[in-house]
Chains A and B, each alone.
Chain A
Amino acid sequence: MDVTVKVKRYDPDAARPQVEWQEYPISIDENATVLDALIMIREEVDGTLSLRCSCRSAICGSCAMRINGHAGLACKTKASDSMDANGTIVVEPAGVMPTVKDLVVNFDLFWKKIEEVEPYLKPEVPEPEAEYIASNESMLHLSGVTACIMCGACVSDCTVLEVDPTFLGPAALAKAYRFTADPRDGDANGVSRDRLAKLGMPSGMWDCTRCNECVQACPKGVAPMDRIMALREQAMEVGFGNTNGARHAEAFTESVGHSGRLDELRLPVQSVGITNIPALLGFMPVGWRALTHGKLPPLVHKNVEDVDTIRRLFRKLNNS
């Protein structure tokens, strides 16, 4: 099978480092994944191409990148499903995290956020001598979240993180949920009050705009957005619904739903800042990303024309 892999390249060692597109026409097996294609390029055509990869089986989390504009694992994406009419596959590094070289991005931000949620079990009552007794269902539910391989695909495509690097983001919030939902974490009833309090602060669970990008990007079915919504429910249940973060989110939703843009009097810029604009953008019709890429600031000052669409979307979301 003939295919052209078009790779976005960047070499910081170059005399004048710049982003360049390079096309590699190669011939691969029908069953080959995008990763197989990249490995073939690296081994047989061009040893200067850098990427991370290891397991080839969607479990080590190394090979997340943008394939035809969307984040995913190269080793889990079939080449034959990814070619356009001309047999071309477009491959770029993951988003949000800065590029180090070619398809390799800097994960520092990703890990910092994971560490921020204190990612280890914190039981407040003494451990039993044998194992904790827990229902299989509760463990299966958690395993749906611990299945996260920390690949960063969700972070790459998160519409809030794209403009607000302080947001905890989908992977870290899903990781946090993995503890708040664990019957072994927190008090004798398995309630992790402290965690929920912290996660309710600005840049936490209330800053997600429910754009669903992370759910689509995740190769392991973790569905981070759903976990964030579950976190909000947990927070409400223990009476943290009335925090700044929550009020914020409500006011924001109201404001955008009403006028199609932020009402800066009702929602002071210093508290939300520019950071939540993507919420609004997130609800715009398909194609918004192309429209807004790199052009955020001007949009803030303009009136958003399609107010009706946004209102409609909000109504739809509220009813669902």
Chain B
Amino acid sequence: MLEHDVLIIGAGLAGMRAAIAARAGGANAAIISKVHPVRSHSSAAQGGINAALTDRGDEWEDHAYDTIKGSDYLGDQDAIEVMCRSAGQSLIDMEHMGVTFNRDEEGKLGTRAFGGQRRARTFFVGDFTGQALLHVMFEQLIKSGVQRYEEWFVTSLIIEEGQVAGVTALEIRTGKLHAIRAKSVIFCSGGCGRLFEPSTNALIVTGDGMALAYNAGAKLMDMEMVQYHPTTISGSGVLLSEAARGEGAYLRDKNGERFMEKYAPNMMELASRDVVSRSEQTEINAGNGVNGCVLLDCTHLGEKLIMEKLGQIRELGLDLTGKDMIKELVPIRPGMHYIMGGIKTDIDGQTNLPGVYAAGECANVSVHGGNRLGANSLLDTIVFGERSGTHAAAFTRGQSYINVNEGEVVAREEQRLQGMLDRPDNGDRWGKIRLAMGDSMNRNVAVFRNKEGIEETIQELQELKTRYTSVPVHNKGKVFNTDLIFALELGFMLDCAETIAVSALERKESRGAQFRIDYPKRDDENWLKHIVVSQGEVGPELSNLPVTITKWTPEERKY
């Protein structure tokens, strides 16, 4: 049987960083990914990565404060301290590995401004920072010699003696099902954006890891905290990076007014994302938009700057809206972008299940709280990817494998998948169910929420879950059966959607990304705490955890 000390699920930035660290820690590490590593969604990150470099007068404490304020005080301050302290070294490590960061006049790493921060500390490669980092991380992965299972889809976790003992995975190219045994598993499987429609997220971002972990007993935390990004293209939902505003772009309503003056007179367009998205939606709802959008104005930035620093998003705008940002305003609107919530971990990536770790967007160490600052997520993946890889390697030293009956495990899972293939065609399609779920979430669990709406969505999700149990799979073949994979992903998404909706219903206040029209104020007395969801006998069970506060006491949030 295939077996590894540490098995990393997911080969985005978090996963590859974890794998390299686990290998460096002496473990027999392997990485498994449903797409080739460089196709992972980390490639889509455009704007940059944050770090406070002391040699240019920045302090990690300032970065921490901005992050905590951005989180609307829901972030755990011990974890934020770890992230902001390590940021400088992590950044320099990436530069040494070969990332082609833009430079300043002196040839040192250059910065750009990003939302919610009082100082420019976002380092970048044009407007394709994620791709640049991801490809370099892949280079290092090749160099490290870590075993890679590329285009293998994890379908389930193997649980033996009450513990996670490995995974079953479908080799997509052949359709063969394998069991892989592992002493430790690290989830680095990314977010779950596709359960909203539209979303900036890639089609593969379907919450697989969160759902697998949840169903195995892991705790999910802060699932109600879903970030809507202020500048997405209407229709497809594709992102135009915050880098545009970081470089000085304006937001305008249909009369050409810079409406952010009303909402964030100091930070204007660079207030934190929850604030800007809410302001835009308020204007659109008041009839001050254009076809459900407001306008992004880059025309004063000049062709040279746009071509040098925003070339990729200019192309996206041209390709997808037909507008050239050098001379035209581009219609944009708030769109689902990121999930702050995820599998609850400590600062070493450990979950509540022994030997099970998580890092990156699927995890919640709690550095983003109620609202993630732009460019803090790439940092999160690298810092906590490394920490969990290192810790897992140490954990497996001296551990032995749990017994797994390979034949039995594989046969059972094959049977389950065959059951899906054998369903009669009842005319339903997984695409229809996904769309209904995405619409419902985007209608009721979006920028503005209320009790009735969320309850409606919870009801609709129940109906969709029932439909899901009999949705047919058209493709009966073995080789590259993407039809079957989508059907499996839909199951994961439905589970995640439910945890988001019940958490949003539970939090009876407005904080960060959660704005309840029926409870429009932040309520520190009752709700300065995390909401935790775990799988109970009959669906999700809710509990609470305190927020860790070290030295920054909650205050009113103004930008």
Residues of B close to A39: CB separation below 8 A: 203
Q: Choose among B100, B312, B477 the residue that contacts A48 (Cβ–Cβ < 8 A).
A: B477
* Cβ-defined contact, B103 with A136, below 8 A: yes
* Cβ-defined contact, B143 with A120, below 8 A: yes
* Cβ-defined contact, B321 with A31, below 8 A: yes
Instruction: Tell me, yes or no, whether A194 is within 8 Å of chain B by CB.
Output: no
Instruction: Tell me, yes or no, whether A62 is within 8 Å of chain B by CB.
Output: yes
Question: Taking the nearest CB of chain B, how far is it from the CB of A229, in angstroms?
Answer: 21
* Cβ-defined contact, B132 with A54, below 8 A: no
Give the contacts of B223-265 with A (CB-CB under 8 A): 235-236, 238-239
* Cβ-defined contact, A142 with B100, below 8 A: yes
Residues of B close to A44: CB separation below 8 A: 429, 431
Q: A47-B483, A51-B482, A147-B128 are in contact. Are A60 and B101 (CB under 8 A)?
A: no
A211–B98 Cα gap in the complex (Å)? 31
Question: Taking the nearest CB of chain B, how far is it from the CB of A62, in angstroms?
Answer: 5
* Cβ-defined contact, A60 with B429, below 8 A: no
* Cβ-defined contact, A135 with B103, below 8 A: yes
Instruction: Tell me, yes or no, whether B337 is within 8 Å of chain A by CB.
Output: no
Q: Which residue of chain A has the shortest Cβ distance to B45 in the bound complex?
A: A59
Residues of A close to B140: CB separation below 8 A: 120
Residues of A close to B551: CB separation below 8 A: none
Instruction: Tell me, yes or no, whether B267 is within 8 Å of chain A by CB.
Output: no
A52–B236 Cα gap in the complex (Å)? 18
A43–B135 Cα gap in the complex (Å)? 31
Q: A55-B202, A78-B319, A143-B100 are in contact. Are A133 and B108 (CB under 8 A)?
A: yes
Q: A56-B236, A134-B103 are in contact. Are A62 and B319 (CB under 8 A)?
A: no
Residues of B close to A136: CB separation below 8 A: 102-105, 107, 110
Question: Taking the nearest CB of chain A, how far is it from the CB of B556, in angstroms?
Answer: 38
Q: Choose among A52, A76, A132 the residue that contacts B95 (Cβ–Cβ < 8 A).
A: A132
Residues of B close to A62: CB separation below 8 A: 35, 39
Q: Choose among A47, A76, A133 the residue that contacts B429 (Cβ–Cβ < 8 A).
A: A47
Q: A42-B482, A50-B480, A133-B106 are in contact. Are A59 and B475 (CB under 8 A)?
A: no
A30–B519 Cα gap in the complex (Å)? 42
Q: Choose among A31, A42, A43, A182 the residue that contacts B98 (Cβ–Cβ < 8 A).
A: A182
A136–B239 Cα gap in the complex (Å)? 26
Q: Mark A112-145, 1 if CB is under 8 A from B, else 0.
A: 0001000111000001001111111001101100
Among A99-107, A250-258, A304-312, the one that faces the other chain is A99-107
Instruction: Tell me, yes or no, whether A12 is within 8 Å of chain B by CB.
Output: yes
* Cβ-defined contact, A46 with B474, below 8 A: yes
* Cβ-defined contact, A61 with B126, below 8 A: no
* Cβ-defined contact, B139 with A101, below 8 A: no
Residues of A close to B35: CB separation below 8 A: 52, 54, 60, 62
Residues of B close to A102: CB separation below 8 A: 480
A60–B204 Cα gap in the complex (Å)? 11
Q: Choose among A47, A60, A76, A185 the residue that contacts B319 (Cβ–Cβ < 8 A).
A: A76
* Cβ-defined contact, B55 with A130, below 8 A: yes
Q: Choose among B128, B203, B315, B320 the residue that contacts A53 (Cβ–Cβ < 8 A).
A: B203
A51–B483 Cα gap in the complex (Å)? 10
* Cβ-defined contact, B125 with A57, below 8 A: no
Q: A47-B474, A57-B238, A135-B107 are in contact. Are A120 and B139 (CB under 8 A)?
A: yes
A216–B444 Cα gap in the complex (Å)? 46
* Cβ-defined contact, A146 with B125, below 8 A: yes
Instruction: Tell me, yes or no, whether A13 is within 8 Å of chain B by CB.
Output: yes
Instruction: Tell me, yes or no, whether A33 is within 8 Å of chain B by CB.
Output: yes
Instruction: Tell me, yes or no, whether A150 is within 8 Å of chain B by CB.
Output: yes
Q: A130-B55, A133-B108 are in contact. Are A146 and B322 (CB under 8 A)?
A: no
* Cβ-defined contact, B431 with A43, below 8 A: yes
Name 12 extra pairs, CB < 8 A, besides A56-B236, A76-B319.
Answer: A36-B236, A43-B431, A47-B475, A53-B203, A60-B44, A100-B479, A101-B479, A101-B480, A121-B97, A130-B92, A136-B105, A143-B126
In the assembled complex, 28 residue pairs joining A and B whose CB atoms fall closer than 8 Å, in A order, are: A11-B477, A31-B320, A42-B482, A44-B431, A47-B429, A48-B474, A48-B483, A51-B482, A54-B204, A58-B315, A59-B44, A59-B128, A60-B39, A101-B480, A106-B173, A107-B36, A131-B108, A133-B108, A136-B102, A136-B103, A143-B100, A143-B126, A146-B100, A146-B132, A148-B135, A149-B131, A179-B98, A182-B98
* Chain A residues at the B interface, C-beta cutoff of 8 Å: 11-13, 29, 31, 33, 36, 39, 42-44, 46-48, 50-62, 76, 78, 100-102, 104, 106-107, 111, 115, 119-121, 127, 130-136, 139-140, 142-143, 146-150, 179, 182, 184-185
